[in-house]
Copies of this chain bind each other. A is one copy, B any other.
Amino acid sequence: MARLSSAQDYKSLLDKYDTWLFDCDGVLWQGDRLVDGVPEALNLLRTHKKRILFVTNNATKSRKSYKKKFDQLGLEAQVDEVFGSAYASAVYLSTVMKMPKHKKVYVVGMKGLEEELEEEGIQHLGGTDPADNTLAEFHLKDFQPDPDVGAVLCGLDTSVNYTKLSKAFTYLRRPGVVFLATNIDSTYPSADGLLPGAGAISAPLACALGREPLSIGKPAETMMDCIKAKHQFDPTRAIMVGDRLNTDIEFGNRGGLSTLLVLTGITHESEVVGPHASTTVPTYFTNSIGDLRAAIS
């Protein structure tokens, strides 16, 4: 593992890699605030004809609404450069599970997740349905489960409640109903600090059922398969940039890519150097992706 510091370090990084995969929250921005120097760093890569891909576990937004976030922040991005765990989950259901058209997914999640399911032609229940977004008491006797539900898909859902959890639990107790999570990040970096993440939304179900969901997002291979289906690249000339060791860095390492950890998000320096360092080790680390600007000088 190398700590990047000199202009030469960043120049050789630029030479070595043609494909740059970026996590977003905690790397490009923190909530609604751009990380310092990000526009310049991304422009530098585009000027050098690098392929840029954005790979996010955030499943609250579809790729289209994610693109809007880039627009609002003044960052150039194309929809087909964006890979979210909501999209990857929809692709998993349609192409890996090959879920029949008449089958449905019960969603514990938000609008972006529903949009990606719809793009893949997958029928869904729950999610933003007003009937399931309630704090009213839930009684099993008033619930008629839909026999066509073949999977429960959990993502970050800030409207999570006992009715959704109870319905999801009831479906998951039926034989053959698959338990999926867009991702299992334990926390979510909001603009003002950490909040419970998608892993905290599927945790009640995992507890009640005594089994864990299959997680689609980073570090799972499903996400990498999704990207490779659309973009061919040489892993030895590709680098994954992220702020989380157990998702981003693990994801890049597993895929045979080089990895660059930045310290603008979740991970503290003490987790990569020193006696308490993690066993997941990035190829490089630096304070911020903005540091790449040093290569310009």
**Residues of chain A having any CB pair with chain B under 8 Å:** 133-135, 137-141, 157-162, 165-166, 169-170, 173, 186-187, 190-197, 199-201, 203-210
Contact = CB atoms under 8 A, between A and B. Distances in A.
B186 A196 contact: no
A176 to B, nearest CB: 18
22 contacts: A134-B135, A135-B135, A135-B161, A137-B158, A139-B190, A140-B191, A141-B191, A157-B162, A166-B196, A169-B196, A170-B193, A173-B194, A186-B209, A187-B208, A196-B205, A196-B208, A197-B208, A199-B208, A200-B205, A200-B207, A201-B204, A203-B203
Contacts of A159: 135, 161-162
A271 to B, nearest CB: 13
Contacts of A157: 162
A205 B187 CA distance: 10
A276 to B, nearest CB: 14
Given A139-B192, A140-B190, A141-B192, A200 B161 contact: no
A187 B192 CA distance: 34
Given A140-B190, A158-B138, A192-B139, A165 B207 contact: no
Nearest to A139: B192
B200 A165 contact: yes
Nearest to A173: B194
Contacts of A203: 200, 203-204, 206-207
A133 B162 CA distance: 12
A195 B169 contact: yes
Given A203-B203, A203-B204, A195 B166 contact: yes
A192 B140 contact: yes
Nearest to A165: B196
A201 B201 CA distance: 10
Contacts of A201: 204
Nearest to A206: B203
Contacts of A133: 135
A139 B205 CA distance: 25
Q: Which among A157, A197, A200 has the greatest number of chain B C-beta atoms within 10 A?
A: A200
Nearest to A190: B140
Contacts of A192: 139-141
A194 to B, nearest CB: 7
